Chains A and B, each alone.
Chain A
Amino acid sequence: MVVLIPLAKIAIAISILLFIVTYLVYFERKISAWIQDRIGPNRVGPYGLLQSPADVLKLFFKEDIVPSAATKFVHSLAPVISLTVAMSTYAVIPFGPDIEIFGQKVRLIVADVDVGILFILAFASIGVYGLTLSGWASNNKYSLLGGLRSSAQMISYELSMGISVVGVLILAGSLRIYDIINSQQGWMWNAFIQPIGFITFVVAAFAETNRLPFDLPEAEPELVGGYHTEYSSLKFAMFFLAEYANMIIASCLITTLYLGGWHLPFIDSATLSYGLMPLISVMIFVAKVLFLLFFFIWVRWSIPRFRYDQLMNLGWKVMLPLSLLNLMWVALLVYFFKI
């Protein structure tokens, strides 16, 4: 039992992840189409629902091209790094309160580590290696530029992201994600208490996941495909998967850190039967994450890409001071109100 439960949790987490990614791609295409007054994929299966599996199948059968001038080992290593990092970050993200199965207390998290947030930030930084190495190993000027941009962008935005998170940590008094969520019961969502930190974190999350308006490492019009220009077949699929997995992580993270995890103001106070509560909590959590994922896609199809100098200006001259301001605000709150 001791081994079985974590294994089951890992299996469930990964299959849910893959399922969500598949349909995230589908909805990305659908929503982009709707926003542009089009219909979107609707030919493969009913309502085009089998489009994404078909795409994956297609990628399976494509030839895997490695440029002759590429550094072969690193070239194949890079997508693996991206994907592994993206997948393992899920381990520390909880998606519901404790539940009881067969008299056993089960936490809805793969690994409840004490340094949860730190773990996520650390892994997010490793993820950059995937992009940078792929850009360097491809031996292609566009890829290299994409890789360089991604590393510069990550460094600039990770800073403000980290400082925004510190505000949350001060309020929660713990690095453990459970404690952070439980410190936001009722209306005490961090998004309301520290709105500036919320905004800086969301913007930094967009930059970290390489989504528009910060998708400079890819930037199709200027860099062809950026870091993944020279990738094809399954290696490309891995990058693709990693990007969407990162999006889900970012959404989960925003939900846990700022939107109160599985807490909703009125549900907590309502007297619900004990058995129903975990189910509703998980549903609330998933609903929040899905809304954020929609938000990610929605923003992508609304806002144009930043220019590189604008990106750097925003990162260092706006985001960093703002997140520091937020930190001071939280410190003052704690000092005066002893929240």
Chain B
Amino acid sequence: MSTDWPLWEVFVRSRRGLSHTHAGSLHAPDAQMALRNARDLFTRRSEGVSLWVVPSSEITASSPDEKDPFFEPAADKAYRHPTFYEVPEGVRNL
């Protein structure tokens, strides 16, 4: 049996105004240690102003293949994009 500590996913907000972004993962026995390790591992050069750690086992993922039917409903709805629409020449601010 593995004696590895649980795996955590680390999310870093690099500066105010930006979302937290996945930075990587690490092992730690608990959330507090995961935060401390994440600080030492991912923000040694002031790369972050805020950290989240999430147990990897708590993440639910969509199926593996990114081209998979899960995402298909969005594929044929080009009318969700502004470029779908015809705008007569000379019409501005639209």
A and B: bona fide binding partners? no
